[in-house]
Each structure stands twice: as structure tokens, then as C-alpha cells.
Amino acid sequence: MQFFSLPELFSSLFSPYKRIVESRTVGFNLEAWAGVIIINIMSRLIGLLVRTIIIVVGISTLTIFTFVGLFSYALWIGAPLVITGSILSGIYLWW
Amino acid sequence: METLATKIKIFESAIRLSRFLPRKAMTRLRYLFFIMMILSVIALVTSSLLTPGLYETKTIGLSLIFLGLWLEQVCLYIYHNSFYFRGLDSIVGQEAKTKTGITYEVAEMTLGNPDDLTGAFFSSKIGQHILARLNIATTEYSNLLDSARHKITSQDIPLQTNQTTTLIDISRHLYMYDIDLQQWLTKQAVTREIFQGAVNFVVKSHHAYKRQLRWWSRDQLSHTVGIADELAYGTAFELEKFSRNLYDGAVYSDLGGSAPHTQVLIEKIEQILARSKASNVLLIGNAGVGKMDILIQVAKRFKTGKGLNSLSGQHLILLDSEQLFALCSEPTTLEQELITMLNQAAEAGNVSVVIENIGNFITKGASLGVSIPELLDTYLAIPNLHIIGTDSPNQYHNVIEPLGAFAKRFEEILVEPADIEHTTTILEPIALQEEVRHKIFFIYEAIETITKSADRYLTEGAMPDKAITLLVEIASNADRENVSIITPEYIHTYISNKTGIPVGPMNDDERDTLMHLEDKLHERIVDQVAAVSAIARTMRRARADIERSDKPIGSFLFLGPTGVGKTETAKALAEVFFGSEDTMVRFDMSEFSGEDALERLIGGFQRTGALSDRLQEHPYTLVLLDEFEKANVAVHDLFLQILDEGYFTDNRGNRVNLRNAIIIATSNAGSDLISHTSNIRTEQPLLNQNIIDHIIKARILKPELINRFDSTIVFEPLTESAQHNITRLMLNELTDRIQTRGYNIVINADVIPLLVERGFDARFGARPLQRVIQNLVEEKIAKLIITGSLQKGDTIDLNLADFTSEELAATTV
């Protein structure tokens, strides 16, 4: 969670990418105004895209690790059986 | 109540396992089985590809065998770890799941011999290491174990309910209750502080090693930085060109960050930075007190998520002002560059800009015609940009404080130099690093000696920095000299060579000088037996190190009429103690009677002080304050502090150390009384007290000032025989001087009564004698040389009869 900064990514999902924004100029100028809006929307879209990719990768990794964890736990519980089973069957096959 | 005996039971099986299969062997086996398993799998794949159906069953079997063996070793290792790392969190200061119990080392040690914990303690691996740090030979320790003594068992040690018991706690208990151990350690010249210090050092470094081993611990994993932290914030591209991240710059620096008083400062900085208004910090402290180290700790806390939540993701960016000024030498470029970088930093939202020596930064900006305070002012009010400045007290007073409103934008935090105990703990990890680098070994007491010596004998810089520098210097010096064990004696020798002041145990010559200090002083001082003996006694106490070390080496008030040997005594003492009378600095205090006296002594706004300058250049010196009573009251008050604390603060805010100086103040006050009562002096101390009372009553010196001197010494008017002896001494000095020019002169004793008669004066004592000898004897010899009557290599006898009546008449001037 901390490695992928998931809480931060969720809370800033729609924020501009790296806070890159254009500020409005003084006075009304349609061209400039449209430019600012487009750049800011683009920045937010890029931000959304990058964050979504990292969130997906992060959640997938977390899921994999959860299963690995569960498997390790099961292995730990069944260790005596697994270890003796593995060694004995190994000896049997080798023989 | 639970005792050690009940708690060790759960560790028994794990410890037995490690006795049978040590952790190192466990690791080797684990690696071996893992490699064998991989090789088997490779063999399986290869055989199924090359010779299908021939060896597959066998290689599968082999793989399964090694898989089983490897898994068994992994399980064993995990099982052992669950005991080995137990209780470790409590050492780091983090919340542990269980706050009770004991550490693995305590259990391992106790199981070694539960019926004799002292024996078990010193026989354990860590105990042996502690003995080595204490510089105690194994034979000595065997003597302790073999002796008949009361033994402390595991049942005698109760456990605390709210903390994990470590070897440090056990050692404390053993020292307190095992009287034989105490006596044995005292015999080995190991005090409680040194014993406890060495135990702390060894145990804590062992815990640090264990924490490193446990890479999966929360502590270690928190060092990993989130990959997307940066995405939530902007980037200050312009600032990046002229700065570096404080965290990246010194990842491994951990100086003083863990000490309690720095912890308070770190928390305070965080609280200020978390504010929505006035979230700027100004760290004030002399160079070397560790201002940057504190900021590095703050940066580390932010990076590892240990800081306040509202500050997570914050970066401490150190502005490289040198580079900025070098590249932006035009005022407009500098202004533009600063505005751009601060705007970007503010937009980024997670930047705290650190400006080192902010006073210099402002002055340098001003020299280019840029008013930095005005420029920064807007940014100091922005909540999402923090500015952290550092500076020395002097620069703060001179540059920042006069700016008024600008200074108020910052919350000031004063960083005091580390104290002795704290400095030693800072030195410990550095000593370990140096040990590895130079293949040397520090006795624990040596580390403590370095701290104390740095504090006492090194006047430049502040603690802990000067102690660290000294340790590093000593380590490389020892490496060069092929010294492998650093003992306190080695440190003393190094300090003596470096500073020229004798420290540590005395050598035979020095011991001889001190024991016969009276005789040595009497070679130059005639009579004044009481005065000389008082001085000698004080100096011996000082050198034996039983005096308070936070005062000057010695301080004396010499009372007595003019010309009785006060100055001469000071010179003689400087020669005996510091090796040369040139080490004496003399101040005529009658020149320091005006209103500006204090400023002239310790410096003022526009000038440096005579006393502070001299002491910063030569800290090992004898300060002679002639006619002390004539100095301004403010000067007397300054010496009240100096005599008591051994330092004063000069105009630049620097501490000037007088703890390695001898202070002698002379005064003619009460000399009439001294002269009048000299005939009836039968009981010296009583009469001395009368003279002191007289000085106090006449309000010449304050009683508290007189009391601050180590000793007030009354110099007697010279008796006739003393006058003869002084004359003899001065004539000897003259003949010696002339002998170095190649002439041998023997001055007959019949000249002496005449010289005494004309050279001594009731008011000026022996002061006119020098002039009389000059006018009569030196003049005569000069004539003999010029007329050619005395050639180099000749020997000549001078009698009273050799002087003409004109020559004799010349001396009566």
C-alpha cells in the first residue's frame, strides 16, 4: 500500500499531472481562456491515466502477494506433512 | 512477581537448537540445499530434453529431497528468528506487540549458568566483548569467578512489567547487588559510569546489527519510498538546478538524531512546519552543533512516513546559494531566478527550502543589490511553502534581528551544543565505523576521554562536532602509527602533543616538577614562602584533576605593595606550568577603568576584544590582571562569571574558554596595612583576613569577587635578607646574559649592600633595583667592552673599588 502510494493516488486521482496547470490571464481573451482550459483538462487527463495505471499495477501486485501470503501460511501450517512428504517421496522416486 | 528464571523457559528449545546448529551453519545449510534444489531442477529439465524417460524419476526424486531439506531449513530459521529478534522493538523505541519479557541474549546468557549470573554474564559472547571494551584481561576475570562470593541467580532478578528486559538492565542489577563485582571492577579502575557506558555501547551496537539483519521489519521496510508519492505533487524544476535533497545527500548520517534533546527539537520543527501560518523555521546555533543533522533527521522522518501526517511527502531541499550567486551575478537575473524557483516550489506543494547561513545569503544578495528579505517576504507567508533557515547566533544578531518584520516571519529554535553524555553516545557509532576503516579497537573509556578532552581542551568549534573531528583524527593517527588499541592514555598523549598542555596521568618529570613546585618557583622568587606554597598547593590540586573542570586551572588574587614579586611570581608560574613566561599575557587594568572598558576587553559592535582575541589564539595561557582593583565595575562583574564558570561570551556570540588558563589578579589595595602590620604577623591567616576585610570595607573589591578566586595571597614587604637575595639573583642573571656574549664577569658580593641601599624603596619595593643595576653595573661593563679592557674570552672581577665616585653618584638618581 505504502510502496504504491495507493491512498495518495486515490485522493488525487483527478488532480492535474504533477500540478502542471496554466493560470488565467488578466482580462477576458477567448483564445487564452480556451487554451488554459484545454491545457488544464489535458493535465488532469494525463494525471488520471498515469494514476490509474499505477493503481491497477498496485492492486494486482497486492492481490498476488495476498495469495502468496495465504499459500505460505498454508505451507507453514502443513510444513511437517509437506517436508516429510517431499523427502520421503523424493527418496522413493530416487530409489 | 515474575523473575528471569520463569521467562527463560520459553527460549530453551530455540537456544538448544542454536547450540546444536549455530545460526551461521543454519544459513549455510539453507543456501546449500537451495542451490542443490535448483541444480536438481536444472538436471531434471536437461535430462528430460536430452534423454527423455531415462533419468526423470531420479531427478524429480532428487529435487523433492532437496526441496524438503530446504523447506525444513527455512522453517527452522523462521522458528529461531521468532525468538532471536524478540524484544528488539522496544530498543528502537517503537511500539512492540509485547512490552514484557526478555531479549534472546538475556535468555542465552542466563541459560549458560542460571545459578551464577555474574559468571554467566561475563562468559557470554557479549560479556566477553564488554570485557574487551573495558580493557580487562581474561585472567583478571577468571580471578573474580574463582573467588568465593555471593552469587546472584536467575530467581533473584525480578522483571519489569512494562518493558523488555535487556542485558543493560541485567548488568545494572548485577552491579547494584553484586558487591564483589563492584569491588572487582573498582580494582580494575572501572567506575560505574564506565561499566554501564561500555555495556550500553556493546549491547546497543549488537541490537543495531540485529535490526539490520531483520530486513523484513517495519523499521527497515519503511525506508522504502512509495513510487507514486511524487505524482500528487508538482516539480520545482528551477529549484532543482540550484539545490539538492537533504535526504539523498546524507542518507547514512545519523548524528545525534536519537538523543532526547534533539528529539524535542525535531518534534518542534515538525509542529511549526505543519502550521497553516508562519510555518518557517530558523535554527540558531554555532557551527558544529548539528543543525543540519537535525534537519536530516526531519527529512528522514518525512521520507519514512514517521513524521506528522499532514507533512507526509514533504521534501527538504537545501539551496546551493554558492552556485546560485556564481551563476546569477546580475541583480535582475538573481531576482528572476529566485522568484521562479520559489513560485515553482510553492506550486509543487511539498517543498521546504533550506537556506544554510541565511544571514550570509542576505548579505551576499545585498552586495549584488538584491534585497533578499523583501523578496522572500511574500513566500514566507504562503502556507504550502516552508522556508527553513540556519545561522549562528552572531549572524542572527547582526543581520537578521535588525530586520524586524522579516525575523518575525520565522519561529526561532535555539540549538545548544550537545552535553558530554550525549556526545559520547553520538561518538559510539562513529567509533565503530572508524574501527572497521582503520582496523583499530577503541577501549570504551577512550571514547569517553575523547569527549571530555574535546570539551575541555579544544576551544575551536562546538560539541559534538569537535569531538567527532577529534575521534576521526585520532583513528587515522593511530592507523599511521600502527597502534591497534586506542586507550585513554593514547588519547592523552595525542591531546598533549596537539595542544601542548599536559593532560592525563603525569610522567615522572612532571610529577617531580609538581612535587617540587615550591623549589622551582623559589629559584626565581625570593621569600614569600606562604604565597608560593599556596600557589603550589592549588596547582597540584588542578593537575591531579580533583578540581572542578568547569573553572580556570587556577585563579589567584595577589595582594601586596609594589615591587615585592607579584608579577615575577606570575612569570615564574607561567614558565613552570606552560613552559615559557611568554605564555603570560598582561593587562594593565588601570587602562580598563572607563565606560568602554568591557567593550575593549571582550569586543563590541565594531571592534574585537583584547582578552577574547588573545584567548582564542592562545587558550593555554596565564592571564595577569595588574592593578585589578582599578578596573571598571562591569569588568569586575565579567570576572565574577569567568572565575565561576570558566568562560564568557564575546561580542560575536562566541564562547571564549578560560578553563585552560591561569588567572592572576594583582592589587596594591591594602598595601599600607600590609606594610604596617608586617612586623606583627605571627598568625598569617588571621592577618590575611584583616587585609581582605579592609579591602571589602573600603569597597575596593566586592566580597563575592574575592571569594571566587581559588586563593587570595598576601605578599609581604621584602626583608633585608630577601633584598640581598633578590639583588644576587638579578646579578646572576646579568652575568649569565653577558656570558652568552663571550665575556666572563664575576661580580663581588661587596657591591650588593650598595645596590640594596639604592635599589630598594619603601613605596616601590624592588622595582628601582633593575634601574640601579643598569646604571651602575651594566654601564661599567659596557665601558670596559668599548674601551677594549674586556675582550671576548676574558674573565674579570668587579669589586666595589672598581667603581669611580662619579659612577657611584649616577645610581642615586
* Best mutation target, A82, A93, A95, to test chain B (most B CBs within 10 A): A93
Cβ within 8 Å, pair B233-A93: no
Q: Which of A2-11, A79-88, B520-529 has the lowest mean pLDDT?
A: A2-11
Q: Does A75 touch chain B (CB under 8 A)?
A: yes
Domains B420-505 and B720-810 share a fold: yes
- Predicted confidence at residue B96, as pLDDT, reads 47
Q: Does A41 touch chain B (CB under 8 A)?
A: no
* Best mutation target, B64, B75, B343, to test chain A (most A CBs within 10 A): B64
**Complex confidence, ipTM:** 0.77
Which residues from chain A sit within 8 angstroms of residue B67, using beta carbons? Answer: 86, 90
CB-based contacts of A35: which residues, under 8 Å, 6+ apart? A22
- Classify residue B254 by its DSSP letter: -
Which residues from chain B sit within 8 angstroms of residue A75, using beta carbons? Answer: 71
Cβ within 8 Å, pair A87-B65: yes
Per CB distance under 8 Å, which residues of B are interface residues toward A? 57-58, 60-69, 71-72, 75, 78, 222, 224, 226-235, 305, 313, 347-349
Enumerate residue ranges in chain B where pLDDT < 70.
Answer: 89-100, 219, 222-226, 228-235, 249-261, 305, 545-549, 675-687, 762-763, 810-813
* CATH class belonging to B420-505: mainly alpha
- Predicted confidence at residue B441, as pLDDT, reads 95
Of B229, B231, B347, Cβ closest to residue A50: B231
- Predicted confidence at residue B202, as pLDDT, reads 94
Cβ within 8 Å, pair A51-B231: yes
Check if the beta carbon of residue B270 is closer than 8 Å to that of residue B413: no
Counts of helices then strands in chain A (DSSP H, E)? 3, 0
Cross-strand pairs, B623: B585, B663
- Predicted confidence at residue A24, as pLDDT, reads 66
Strand B622-626 and strand B584-588: pairing?
Answer: parallel
Please give the CATH superfamily to which domain B509-714 belongs: P-loop containing nucleotide triphosphate hydrolases (3.40.50.300)
First to last CA, chain A: 48
CA distances from B538 to B542, B567, B571 (A): 6, 18, 16
Cβ within 8 Å, pair B226-A86: no
Check if the beta carbon of residue B44 is closer than 8 Å to that of residue B60: yes
Check if the beta carbon of residue B92 is closer than 8 Å to that of residue B166: no
> pLDDT by residue (tens digit) across A16-27?
777 777 766 667
Cβ within 8 Å, pair B232-A50: no
Cβ within 8 Å, pair A51-B63: no
Architecture of the domain defined by B720-810: Orthogonal Bundle (1.10)
- Predicted confidence at residue B252, as pLDDT, reads 43
- HSE-CB at B597 with a 13 A cutoff on CA atoms is 20
* Best mutation target, B65, B216, B225, to test chain A (most A CBs within 10 A): B65
Which residues from chain B sit within 8 angstroms of residue A68, using beta carbons? Answer: none
Interface size, chain A vs chain B, as Cβ–Cβ contacts under 8 Å = 96
Task: Give the C-alpha separation, B616 to B65, whole Å.
Answer: 75
- The shortest C-alpha distance from B69 to chain A (Å) reads 7
- Predicted confidence at residue B105, as pLDDT, reads 92
- Peptide bond connecting B717 to the previous residue in cis, omega within 30 degrees of 0: no
Crossing angle of helices B56-84 and B23-50, in 10° steps, is 160
Among B617, B616, B614, smallest CA distance to B625 is for B614
Cβ within 8 Å, pair A9-B228: yes
- Peptide bond connecting B22 to the previous residue in cis, omega within 30 degrees of 0: no
Cβ within 8 Å, pair A86-B60: no
User: Which amino acid, B695?
Assistant: I
Cβ within 8 Å, pair B224-A2: yes
Which residues from chain A sit within 8 angstroms of residue B237, using beta carbons? Answer: none
Task: Give the C-alpha separation, B782 to A51, whole Å.
Answer: 100
Which residues from chain A sit within 8 angstroms of residue B305, using beta carbons? Answer: 2
- Only one residue has cell 549562528, namely B392
Check if the beta carbon of residue B210 is closer than 8 Å to that of residue B84: yes
Q: In this structure, which topology does domain B229-414 adopt according to CATH?
A: Rossmann fold (3.40.50)
pTM of the shown model: 0.73
> pLDDT by residue (tens digit) across A27-64?
777 888 888 888 888 888 988 898 899 899 999 999 99
Q: Does A8 touch chain B (CB under 8 A)?
A: yes
Domain boundaries, chain B: 4-84, 91-218, 229-414, 420-505, 509-714, 720-810
- Predicted confidence at residue B687, as pLDDT, reads 63
As a 3-state breakdown, chain B gives helix, strand, coil percent values, each rounded to 5, of: 60, 10, 30
Cβ within 8 Å, pair A86-B65: yes
Chain B, nearest residue to A3 by Cα = B226
- Predicted confidence at residue B251, as pLDDT, reads 43
Of B68, B78, B313, Cβ closest to residue A86: B68
